[in-house]
Structure 1
Amino acid sequence: MQTEINNALNVLKNGGLILYPTDTVWGIGCDATNEVAVKKIYELKQREDSKALICLVADDRMLKKYVKSIPNAALNIIDISEKPTTIIYDEAQNLAPNLIADDGTIAIRIPDDDFCYQLARKLNTAIVSTSANISGFPTPKSFKEISQEVIKGVDYVVNLHREKICDKPSSIIKLSNSGIVKVIRA
């Protein structure tokens, strides 16, 4: 696994895109602070850049770098969630501007996956994690279902967990600083 982390790190540090297994589905990723790399993901997915992408961070310490004010409920949700849960936070900061939604929010997940944790920790920045498909097409449930267009469109394909089947993306919850909680995807 260390070789795969090092290879992926090298690509991310140089503004490239990776295709990698996450705690949920296979994802297309880049350094979440690199505006040019984020633009490459939108182009590869053929997706409007007004549709925000999810980021992964290693832990709540890293989360604090990218969210001005973390609601207390967020840490409780992270602690008690039995399945991967992405939270949409108000007042995103220190990320590529084209990654932040028009309303200033950002979707972030702390993955329960050793590869993703190590990668984010060693990169020391958030990593974009968007499903490995062209916009409008189904999310692949396994590596075998990822289109050649996506595979050829990235700079590095991580050679781990290619046999893993995942049919559920993360839950998504919007937590506003005013205390309003909204389930976007259960």
Structure 2
Amino acid sequence: MSDDAPTNDDVHRAAAAIRDGDAVVYPTETVYGMGADATSPEAVERVFDIKGRDRDKPLSAGFPDVDSALDYVEVTDREEAFMRRFLPGPVTVVVERRDSLPDVLVSSRERVGVRVPDHELALELFRAAETPVTATSANLSGAGSITNPSQLPDEIHDAVAFVLDGGTTPGTESTVVDPGQGIIHRRGAMADDIEAWLEDES
């Protein structure tokens, strides 16, 4: 790709690659993510393989909005209220998955992380893909997160079908939270606000 900002055509080419079962790299308001069709076991397996990630470490799923996510997860009123308060945003919300999300995505667990990034390019990609998209950092397992495509290792660059270059991202990881259980699994962006909400709504 050129150094110019991604065009609408770039977004649709990346989305087409996702629909074809390939993986792509895309920017978010935290770090760069690796996206593939989160409903396809084969595509999810490809993401694990590219990253060299252990199969017992689940992946999250990205959506263009909360309403789209609710088609693939089961939530309580409290969980939905949390999602509508903090999404889109740098938050991964852990809720119960439906069977339309495959076992391999979540390491056969019953709950899945939901991401709705506060980043227009990511949301455009998710809308164009018309399927849940894996939301995992675009790095080799155990390596540092990627905040600019220039940092992508050759192994990833060569393995993905497309890189959407959105420039440099902020780099603060999302906060991972299970609002139903009131647990913050990983503190990151907006962690204090999330903690306050969990206490106020308990």
Q: TM-score, normalised by structure 2?
A: 0.82
Q: How do 1:86-125 residues align onto structure 2 when only pairs under 5 Å count?
A: 86-125=92-131
Letter in 2 for 1:84: P
Give % identity. Answer: 23
The superposition leaves residues 42-86 of structure 1 with CA deviations (integer Å, 9 ceiling, x where unpaired) of: 01111111110111111122111111x212233333343395111
Uncovered stretches (5+) of structure 1, i.e. residues with no partner: none
Residues 16 and 54 of structure 1: CA distance in aligned 2, closer, same or farther (over 3 Å): same
Aligned-partner Cα distance in 1 for 2:18–2:146: 23
SS at match of 2:50: helix
Q: Across the two proteins, how many residue pairs are aligned to each other? A: 180
Which residue in the other structure is 2:185 paired with?
Answer: 184
Letter in 1 for 2:158: K
Which residue in the other structure is 2:3 paired with?
Answer: none
The answer to whether the 8 A contact 2:115-2:135 is kept is no
RMSD of Structure 2 on Structure 1 (CA): 1.8
Note the C-alpha offset of 1:19.
Answer: 1.0
Aligned-partner Cα distance in 1 for 2:23–2:17: 7
The answer to whether the 8 A contact 2:14-2:161 is kept is no
Which residue in the other structure is 1:154 paired with?
Answer: 160
Letter in 1 for 2:18: L
Which residue in the other structure is 2:17 paired with?
Answer: 11
Q: How do 1:8-157 residues align onto structure 2 when only pairs under 5 Å count?
A: 8-67=14-73, 69-81=74-86, 83-157=89-163
Which residue in the other structure is 2:172 paired with?
Answer: 168
Note the C-alpha offset of 1:35.
Answer: 0.9
Q: TM-score, normalised by structure 1?
A: 0.88
Aligned-partner Cα distance in 2 for 1:47–1:23: 23
Aligned-partner Cα distance in 2 for 1:168–1:57: 20
The answer to whether the 8 A contact 1:71-1:175 is kept is no
Note the C-alpha offset of 1:153.
Answer: 1.4
